[in-house]
Structure 1
Amino acid sequence: MAGSLVERETMQLDSRRLSSPLGSPVQAEVFFPRLTVPFCGHIKGGMRPGKKILIMGIVGVNPESFDIQLTCGDAEDPPGDVAIEMKAEFSDKQLLRNACVSGEWGEEESAIPYFPFIADQPFRVEILCEHPRFRVFVDGHQLFDFYHRAELLSAIDTVKINGDLQLTKLG
């Protein structure tokens, strides 16, 4: 008898879920977690040669800038090393790159063949880790290489994203 009561309650619960086409915000949050900005996520096992990070999103309508960082941990005080920081600046159409190791920022790199990001348009960034460098592709085209400054690749275990964009997929 108790089993049939549980089955009836489960069926009622299921029918309530099915009757609401959008579901409640709580249900949506559980089944479809949002990629909110600012975003901070863990890279399982850290980086290694051959590993790729995929970031898909939509640039904001009136963007000023956004940045993507691969870091060693997510600590803020003291901050962990930043293996690569890419900052897209829309006012001067630059994609600045740098790294911070042991609290010291290195020399900033800015040369790119073109600026790939357009306001209110989708993008796909792939960061491929190779032995000596990161290779960065935007919308399938290689944009630049960034040679590793952080010593231990496996310690690069966090991705942080901030600024004028919406995230649609991370992998």
Structure 2
Amino acid sequence: MGYTSSLEQLTQITEVGSVGFAAKSCPSPPSLPNGDAVYSSLLVGSVATYTCDKDYHFCGLIVSSVCEMYQSWNGLSGSCKRVAFYNYSLPFRQNFPEVVGAGWKVEILGTPLGDSRIVIDLRHGANIPFILNIRFQEGSGSNTVVRNSRIDNIWGQEQRTQPYFPFRVGRPFNLTILLRDSAFEMYMDGHFFVSRASSYNIALINQIIILRGCLLHSVKFVY
């Protein structure tokens, strides 16, 4: 009787491998803040793939995790970082979610106020590789878009755009800044507007600041 009872206990296995042994499994995959794991099994060898919530983007090296032989999940390397911001008051200051590369875009939606200018900076510490100064009412500089830089406290050569001036007080705008290896390109409502050549290493740029002059509806990092 004792032998029979022991045999029955051995055969009461919910998941069985190819040679009759219980298949090893992992607990649920580790959670990822602002994201979710998608997986079909908890058995060894299973893969959990992570997706980030809306307005977040995965930043890291490995976006999945594997259930390994010692019954734990390994491989995930990264996090979900916020890339979209809505209805912020000025000044708006935000770090880029990770190292910037060619092809990155910053999309800015706003409405100009009755101020003299809108100022947008892309920064690296005290250096400002790109300064965008949208001037409405400022002496000889009225209704013009000024681009400049300030590196090691030295101002670059100022560039002005006239007569085309697509900004109007009270009218919403959609401005995109595209970062290239050797230039900053600006687009209005999806159409190319102006650019500024630059020799600054864009991988060092780590912050955007919008100082004044508009109601800020949204800022999005796209890459």
Could you state the TM-score of these two structures normalised by the residue count of structure 2?
0.56
**CA pair 44-113 structure 1, distance change in 2 beyond 3 A:** farther
Letter in 2 for 1:88: I
Secondary structure class of the residue paired with 2:160: coil
> Following the alignment from structure 1 to structure 2, what is the Cα–Cα distance between the partners of residues 153 and 163?
24
> Following the alignment from structure 1 to structure 2, what is the Cα–Cα distance between the partners of residues 146 and 50?
15
Could you tell me whether the CA contact under 8 Å between 2:119 and 2:131 is conserved in 1? yes
> Following the alignment from structure 2 to structure 1, what is the Cα–Cα distance between the partners of residues 192 and 155?
25
Could you tell me whether the CA contact under 8 Å between 1:86 and 1:96 is conserved in 2? yes
**Which residue in the other structure is 2:127 paired with?**
81
Could you tell me whether the CA contact under 8 Å between 2:112 and 2:214 is conserved in 1? yes
Could you tell me whether the CA contact under 8 Å between 1:136 and 1:144 is conserved in 2? yes
Letter in 2 for 1:148: S
**Which residue in the other structure is 2:110 paired with?**
57
Instruction: Work out whether 1:158 is the aligned partner of 2:207.
Output: yes
More helix by share: 1
- Percent identity at matched positions? 24
Could you tell me whether the CA contact under 8 Å between 1:112 and 1:144 is conserved in 2? no
Per-residue deviation, 1:47: 2.5
> Following the alignment from structure 1 to structure 2, what is the Cα–Cα distance between the partners of residues 111 and 158?
25
| Unmatched tracts of structure 1, length 5 or more | 1-31, 74-79
Aligned counterpart for 2:178 among listed residues 122, 128, 132:
128
Query: After TM superposition, what 4+ stretches of structure 1 lie above 6 angstroms from structure 2?
Result: none
Alignment of 1:1-171 (within 5 A): 34-60=87-113, 62-73=114-125, 80-91=126-137, 92-112=142-162, 114-150=164-200, 152-171=201-220
**CA pair 160-148 structure 1, distance change in 2 beyond 3 A:** same
Per-residue deviation, 1:49: 0.6
**CA pair 33-138 structure 1, distance change in 2 beyond 3 A:** closer
**CA pair 64-137 structure 1, distance change in 2 beyond 3 A:** same
Secondary structure class of the residue paired with 1:124: strand
Could you tell me whether the CA contact under 8 Å between 1:72 and 1:81 is conserved in 2? yes
More strand by share: 2
- Kindly report the root-mean-square deviation, in angstroms, between the aligned alpha carbons of the 2 structures: 1.6
Between stretches 99-108 and 32-41, larger displacement belongs to: 32-41
